[in-house]
Amino acid sequence: MAFSQDSFQIKGSVMNARTLQPIEGANIIGKGIFSISSVTGAFTINNVVKDSCSFIISHIGYVSKTVTVIKKQKMETLLVYLNESSTTLEEIEVLGKSERRVVKETPIVSHTVSKEFLNKNRENSLMQTLSKIPGVSTINIGSGQSKPVIRGLGFNRVSVVQNGIKHEAQQWGNDHGLEIDQYGIENIQIIKGPASLVYGSDAIAGVVDIQPNKIPFHNALNGEVNVLGETNNDLLGVSAAIETRKEKWFYRGRLTYRDYGDYKVPTERINYENYIFELHNNNLRNTAGKEANASFSIGYVSDHITSETFFSNVNAKNGFFANAHGLEVRTSNIDYDSSNRDIDLPFHRVNHFKITNNTSVTTGKHTLHFDLGFQNNHREEHSEPVPHGYMPKPSNSKEREFNKNTYSLNVKDKFKPNTQHDFVTGINVEFQDNNIGGWGFLIPEYNRFTIGAFAYDQFEISSDLHFLVGIRYDYGLVDTESYYDWFPSTINNSDGSTSYVHLQRAQNKTLNFGNISASTGLSYIRKKTTYKLNIGKSFRMPLANELASDGVNYHMYRYEKGNLNLDPEESYQLDIGIDHTTKQVSVGISPFVNFFKNYIYLNPTSNYYETLQIYEYTQAKVFRFGGEIRASTTLFKNLQLDASAEYVFSRQTSGAKKDFTLPFSPPLSGLFSANYQFKKMLFFDKPQFIADYRITAAQNEIVPPEEKTEGYQVLNISLLTEMDLFKNNLPVEMRVKLNNVFNTKYFDHTSFYRLIDVPEAGRNLSISLTIPFNK
Amino acid sequence: MRFTPKYYFFILSILLIASCSSDDNVDKDEEKPTISVNYNEGFPQGCVLLVKGETYNFRAKVTDNKALASYSIDIHNNFDHHTHDDQVTECDLEDIKQAINPLIFIENYSIEDNLTSYEINTPITIPSDIDAGDYHCAYSVTDQTGWQARTSIDIKIIE
């Protein structure tokens, strides 16, 4: 960053001359000069020694421009406008399509999330950030943990894929959150529909596909430090990353640490049934947490081979609300209120270790992709030992332990025999080994092996009309292990005698499943409008707990009973996506109709087992429909308005809860956003003011044991700006965000704490600084 | 605006979403049953003292809008003060102590004939050989839909 008398720095921006949109990835090449424009079109050339220099700015699809710059006392930002090269357009279509074009041509209805979106909207967890996307919501457990919900379905019905490998944790669990570092993610593709064809079992409601980051440019050395502070839960977060590439080898690394206290809710007391919990300073007692993540990757890139091996470890400890764990009300001698930062019982600790390798090899018309993965998820749940039923007081606090290893292999061949066809075949193999510990029993130990093979063809009927058809077959094997209580229960025999028996909670069983999935769709691009139509059949293998659990969940006051006769869950869905985008206006609509042949869920029965209500895994036919609409427009150049709405209707059409909805059904919700771009003020560059207003209707469609939830309105505002604090470097990005401006007390129907009448977090001011650096 | 097929498609899709909104004429049971010991004969009342060897009639009123299904009675110790009851009264608890041979009473009963109101009336004898001290008595009741109501009462067992 030396700035001597003899050298000077050139800063500039590359824009599309017609749309005035920034052009990313333009090459700036001159004698001894090399730079590439960023997402915002900006580029910097450092240490120019001569008094003048010239360079060529080029980008595929644009006419190249040669620019000469003469050294001046005060260098102004150089603006370069490139004209689209219409004459070579046809050629470009064949050589390389823009990502946007590829997304348009695929009949699968998907939503792409950029790094810019993630930075602008970052919340406490990745899924909370993504919940701004219409059709995506979350099931939250406190302030730091959440799991994805797509169009009202979550848990194991949404696949989260990172670097091509399905994230495998304890996603069936109520109080489990996604163990993925939300920093350093550049690109996420969200599929809001059945996607078993490519992603296999579990992708029945959708996929959150976190894609590998872009390979750094030649001889690049980039990095960033992000600092985040929040007032509601006194959070302090730091994340630092660096990436570098020489010629063919590249390296990346990231460290993230977050530490937060109890979060505050806008109420002084919580009324749950007949209990009243007084809150100290509005703190939701014992919801503090901390998270430490590290990742490192090493990659190799050449003309024909790209390979990256990625190591990551996510470690978190989170406290659970002390007054009620699940539904169970607890009193304790622990002095929870002495500090809002300590994590006392009950809490959980989770560590997720992951190694993945992604390799692609291009040979002629074939591109082979290999994804290899190993994951270990280790989660422990601790609570104060208490006798329950016939169980005496356990000797320690370790209530549950899950230790799961998952080995994955995906092989995919993309074959492009001519310009019309994209023929993809692949296999996915996965092995899971789940072990349990602790004094509480919920799910058995199991091994699970799945193998699936698929083939699909995307056929270009004409340049604007694409057709996709694909089929897949899966075979799966689940091997559950028996489990006996560690304490005896009292059994009154029919002859009047009494026995004391270590009850069997799970059986030794081997079950196998086979399933066919398929998908077909059309995409039609007509001028500024894209139409998509897709019909798919997806499936989900029953989980070990759905099949074989047979135990008491004291915290939920229920006895959970599996069912060995469950079939693989099958779902049929019709998706439509229409998108119309012009310079001023963009509107989109994505309705769907969905039918489950056998939706598996935990049904509360009217019977008791040892005074606990029996909940039984049952399957029922379910009919669903819904969708999202969105519209955005730009007024007076600087003001962008966005509106979106999401709705899902679900109804069980057979079984014990016929005519009821499904558990955790999200209510009708709309989001209105205004984004105003100010002129440069003082040293604030590109200041933007954003206001998000969410209006959510009441949820009156419930299923036992849920409560109806009233509607709410919440306002969030944020201010984004860039600052040129360091010479010769990229600008520092600052974000100031105020969530829940009016400290509104409201309930989220899909929050884990909703059942005990805990409102959502109160007002929160967060300040985030991102300091980038590069060589 | 010309009415090209594009716009029909839009309108059709919006209609598809808007039209099928809830057809709530289906008669769903959305009410929980109720449970109460807050009447003269209700038993046990909060902080009541039960004497070992005696037999007591445990009585609670349960109601439902449609049909009651089952109820359960659970008596367990609160020697460790792990929780408190949901009644208004607050009882004096003894010091925390270890359980040696505590009373564990765990029984389920069904309610026949689709009744909408019922009085639980179950005689329970307090054994003589169990630990005296603070206990909880928890009632719960379900209806045939699977809704549940619970209540919990602090009691004390004495010699």
Lowest-confidence region among A26-40, A123-137, A160-174, A632-646: A26-40
pLDDT of res. A5: 47
In 3D, which of A150, A155, A157, A107 has the Cα closest to residue A596? A157
Are residue A67 and residue A135 in the same domain, yes or no?
no
Nearest residue of B to residue A651, measured between CA atoms: B22
Domain span holding position A514: 100-774
A200 falls within a domain: yes
Contacts of A686 (CB under 8 A, 6+ apart): A677, A680, A720, A721, A722
pLDDT digits (tens, 9 = 90+) for A316-361: 999 988 888 777 777 777 888 888 888 988 899 999 999 999 999 9
- How far is Cα A662 from Cα A665, in angstroms, rounded to an integer? 6
A165 and A52 belong to one structural domain: no
Q: Which fold has domain B31-158?
A: Immunoglobulin-like (2.60.40)
Last residue of a domain, one of A53, A86, A119: A86
A659/B28 Cβ within 8 A: yes
CATH code of residue A23: 2.60.40.1120
Position A2 in a domain: no
pLDDT confidence of residue A90:
35
**Burial status of residue B65 (CB atoms within 10 A of its CB: 0-12, 13-18, 19 or more):** middle
Note whether residue A724 is domain-resident.
Answer: yes
SS3 A126: helix
Answer whether residue A743 is part of any domain: yes
Same-domain check for residues A41 and A170: no
Task: With respect to residue A254, please indicate whether it lies within any of the assigned structural domains.
Answer: yes
Same domain membership, residue A189 and residue A62: no
Choose the most confident range, by mean pLDDT, from A245-249, A626-630, B5-9, B92-96.
A626-630
Q: Report helix, strand or coil for A313.
A: strand
A3-34 pLDDT, tens digit per residue, is 444 567 788 888 887 767 778 788 888 777 77
Q: pLDDT per residue over B102-132, tens digit each?
A: 898 989 999 999 999 999 999 999 999 999 9
Mean per-residue pLDDT of chain B: 83
Looking up residue A551, the CATH number of its domain turns out to be 2.40.170.20
Which tokens go with B91?
A: 């009882």
A650, pLDDT greater than 90: yes
Q: What is the pLDDT of residue A554?
A: 78
**Burial bucket for residue A201 (CB in 10 Å: 0-12, 13-18, 19+):** buried
- B146 and chain A in contact, CB less than 8 A: yes
Token duo for residue A490: 């009292």
Handedness of CA A418, A421, A422, A428 (dihedral sign): negative
Looking at beta carbons, which residues of chain A come within 8 Å of B28? Answer: 659-660
Do A443 and A485 lie in one domain? The reply is yes
Residue with more model confidence, A174 or A384: A384
Do A434 and A345 have their domain in common?
yes
A728 falls in which pLDDT band (50, 70, 90)?
low
Q: What value does the CA radius of gyration of chain A take, rounded to a whole number of Å?
A: 28
Query: Does the structure show a pLDDT above 80 at A236?
Result: yes
Cβ atoms A35, A728 nearer than 8 A? no
Kindly state the average pLDDT of the residues A468-484.
Answer: 92
Reported as type and span, the H/E element at residue B15 is: helix B5-19
Q: Are residues A80 and A106 in the same domain?
A: no
pLDDT at A488 over 80: yes
Label the pairing between strands A275-278 and A235-245: unpaired
A207, A303: one domain: yes
pLDDT one-digit tens code per residue, A97-147: 666 777 788 888 788 888 888 888 888 888 888 888 888 988 888 777 888
Distance CA B141, CA B150 (A): 7
Q: Tens digits of per-residue pLDDT, A758-772? A: 899 999 999 999 998
A253: tokens are 């690394």
Note whether A22 and A121 are same-domain residues.
no
Nearest to A750 by CA among A271, A148, A316: A148
Give a three-class secondary structure readout of A528-592: CEEEEEEEEEEEECCCHHHHHCEEEEHHHCEEEECCCCCCCEEEEEEEEEEEEECCCEEEEEEEE
Q: How confident is the model at residue B8 (pLDDT cuts 50, 70, 90)?
A: low
* Residue A700 within a domain: yes
pLDDT at B18: 52
Peptide bond just before B44 cis, omega within 30 deg: yes
| Total of domains in chain A | 2
Shared domain for A233 and A307, answered yes or no, is yes
Query: Is there a contact between A657 and B106 if contact means CB atoms under 8 Å apart?
Result: no
Task: Report the residue of chain B nearest A656, measured CA to CA.
Answer: B145
How far is the C-alpha of B120 from the C-alpha of A318, rounded, in Å?
42
Average pLDDT over residues A36-50: 77
pLDDT in tens, A602-623: 999 999 988 889 999 999 999 9
Which of A86, A110, A127 lies at the terminal end of a domain, its last residue? A86
Give the type of residue at A631: A
Confidence band, pLDDT 50/70/90 cuts, at residue A2: very low
Contacts of B142 in chain A (CB under 8 A): 604-608, 613
Task: For B9, list phi and psi in degrees, rounded to 5.
Answer: -60, -45
Strand-pair partners of A101: none
State the pLDDT at residue A494: 85
DSSP structure string for B48-88: EEEETT-EEEEEEEEE-SS-EEEEEEEEEE-TT-----SSS
Q: Which of A168-182, A430-444, B5-19 has the lowest mean pLDDT?
A: B5-19
Contact call for residues A578 and A531 (beta carbons, < 8 A): yes
Residue of A45 and A625 predicted with greater confidence:
A625
Per-domain boundaries in chain B? 31-158
Q: Using a CB-CB distance cutoff of 8 angstroms, which residues of chain B are in contact with residue A392?
A: 99
Predicted confidence at residue A705, as pLDDT, reads 87
More confident residue, A551 or B88: A551
Q: State the count of interchain CB pairs (< 8 A) between A and B.
A: 129
- Residue A631 lies inside a defined structural domain of this protein: yes
Categorise residue A182: left if φ over 0, alpha if ψ from -120 to 50, beta otherwise: alpha
Q: Which residue is closest to B6 within chain A, CA to CA?
A: A529
> Do A159 and A191 lie in a common domain?
yes
Q: Which chain B residues are within 8 Å of A660, Cβ to Cβ? A: 28
Q: Specify the DSSP element, H or E, that contains A170.
A: none
Last residue of a domain, one of A86, A116, A131: A86
For an interface test with B, which of A334, A573, A606 has the most B Cβ atoms less than 10 Å from its Cβ? Answer: A606
Do A200 and A56 belong to one domain?
Answer: no
CB of A170 within 8 A of CB of A353? no
Question: Average of pLDDT values for A39-44?
Answer: 79
